[in-house]
Chain A
Amino acid sequence: MKQSTGEKIFQWGNVLLLTLLGLITLYPFIYVLSLSLSTAAEAQRSGLHLYPQEVSLTAYKMVLNNPNILIGYLNSIFRTVTGTLGTLVFTCLCAYPLSRPGMRWRRTLTFIVLFTLIFNGGLVPMYLQIRNLGLLNNRLVYILPSMVAAFNVIVLKNFFEEIPNSLAEAARIDGASEWRILFQIYVPLAKPALATISLWTAVVHWNQWFDAMIYITDDKKQVLQNFLQRIVVENSTDMIAKGLVNPDIMQFTPETIKAATVIITILPMIIAYPFIQKYFVKGIMIGGVKE
């Protein structure tokens, strides 16, 4: 196809514009990475900090010496792993019966699940319920409330409905129980949908901080995001007062400490991102096409 001059200019302008957008998106991350690796003197220099001119790992050493970071990491890993597993199992248990054409009260039950998408209890009633259930300061509060999420159930239910019912019928005639049919026939066939749901759930769990802030006051059970939040909003004089930053030695500044904490928090996601990203685009397609 021949391109007119106008189209050529548009193509080049477009490439330029999108490159600029890409740079704007990446820059804040590059800045923080560069700052986290900088010496105190360099961090205080004004500039774009695209890369550290002199590499220093002091900030990381300081952050890793903070026992809260390790506690936060372990709690975050715990909630991500168990939360994702729990969500997977319960999503299957909920979606399978609702996808069966012969299920009694199917429409009503599906509506009960769907309704939670558009209306919820709000902060205070939820807080009081968690309190009544004795889940304040209990790590189960990270996992149980989000285990049956309507969106996941609908995605998987749609996926199950695409699988020919004859498969289940044949197994049923052979005397298989519904539990076996679900876990030995339907779950293996639904791997693409389950992969998307579990990756999505894992990211949400890793990023979640609000429930931990509201329901957990015991630092031993706190997640990484909240320790990061405290370090980020803490102003520099407080940090100096607490001995987190020693201005006499000055090998690091509050900024380099903050930057290093950010990097340590996002590290697992950055490593997983290229792998995850592919599934997400697919997942959006699954969710989007089916509606």
Chain B
Amino acid sequence: MNTHKTSRNRTQREWLGMLAPCFLLLLLFNYIPMLGNIIAFKDFRLDLGILASPWNGLENFRQLFSGADFMAAVKNTIVISVLRLGIGFWAPIILALLLNEIRIKWFKRTIQTVTYLPYFFSWVILGGIFLMVFSLRGPANMIVSLFGVDPITFLTNDRWFLALLIGSAIWQGVGYGAVIYLAALSGIPVQLYEAAAVDGAGHWQQMLKITLPCLVPTMIVLFILSLGQIMSAGFDQVYNLYNPMVYDVADIIDTYVLRRLQTMDFGLATAAGLFKSVIGLTLVVGTNMIVRRMSNGERGVW
């Protein structure tokens, strides 16, 4: 009995020994920075450090929200995100449904592999490529000139730049998203379709009444998760594509924070970052709660 107990204690000790280095890293690189957010409520001075710097209440936030540049960044972030989500959310669903209809296996696999490819490259690479393709003398404008239209300033015109952001985001993510939906599609029992066919349901009706409803749980999870990204608006992409000519539409919260960090306005930058995280967290948790309530606890991310 006694040996049993000591061996169980040993097991617990060994488990804790494994966890210890992991939790040390979590403490250093996740939890201490989380607590570091108190800088948002301080008049932070580098020489004093986080703890010794004097509190200044909501002064950073007051300054933030009275500054025109931050409010513009918030607006731009929301515009870009809403466009991305509103248009981009449907693209992978449509691609998955189209791929699902293909009977030729190798063709389906090839298209899947190809459309998935851009997801593997950083926006440094993709941005570099897009800057070349959409430059004034690039191939995109060559195609435009075939229609007798003057060259388009894709990269420096506000509206065209927004279109380019949305389009390239879809271009990059559609294949990856489709794979997730295809996984969900492959989980639909064949019997459902067979039964529907017996009942005389056509192809179109099967898709509306079986396929789409079966995708809804996946759609809900992905939708809630992408709500968490609304305040980010794809920093990597924006940063690698934008230029001073389009700051009016492309300066987002994250680029604002980065700029404030570079000018050593630590308090303002932290306040902006915290504002962003809290909104993102609230959106995800809130939507998840609503979805759970509406579906009697059956749907949602957790």
Contacts and interface: CB of A to CB of B under 8 A. Distances in A.
A207 interface: yes
Nearest to A274: B113
A256 to B, nearest CB: 10
A133 B39 contact: no
B77 interface: no
Interface string B1-37: 0000001100110111011011101101111111111
Interface string B179-209: 1100110010000000000000001000000
Nearest to B145: A46
Q: Is the interface of B mostly helix, strand, loop or mixed?
A: helix
B98 A17 contact: yes
A47 interface: yes
Interface string A166-186: 000000100001110010000
Interface stretch (B63-71, B80-88, B270-278): B270-278
B98 A122 contact: no
Contacts, number: 235
Contact of A229 (B8, B14, B124): B124
Given A31-B139, A209-B122, A232 B128 contact: yes
Interface in A112-164: 112-113, 116, 118-129, 133, 144-145, 147-148
Interface in B232-248: 236, 240
A97 to B, nearest CB: 4
Interface stretch (A54-62, A188-196, A242-250, A265-273): A265-273
A121 B36 contact: yes
Contact of A18 (B33, B98, B103, B221): B98
Given A46-B137, A269-B121, A232 B28 contact: no
26 contacts: A22-B110, A25-B118, A27-B139, A29-B129, A31-B132, A31-B133, A47-B139, A48-B143, A94-B18, A94-B19, A96-B18, A100-B15, A119-B34, A123-B257, A125-B273, A126-B29, A128-B266, A129-B29, A145-B25, A207-B120, A208-B122, A232-B128, A233-B131, A284-B180, A285-B183, A291-B221
Given A11-B101, A113-B26, A123-B254, 16 more contacts: A14-B101, A19-B111, A35-B132, A48-B143, A97-B16, A123-B257, A124-B270, A128-B36, A145-B25, A229-B128, A233-B131, A255-B132, A258-B128, A261-B128, A288-B180, A288-B218
Interface of A: 7, 10-11, 14-15, 17-19, 21-22, 24-29, 31-32, 35, 46-49, 90, 93-94, 96-98, 100, 102-104, 109, 112-113, 116, 118-129, 133, 144-145, 147-148, 172, 177-179, 182, 203, 207-210, 214, 225-226, 228-229, 232-233, 255, 258-259, 261-262, 265-266, 269, 273-274, 276-277, 280-281, 284-285, 288-289, 291
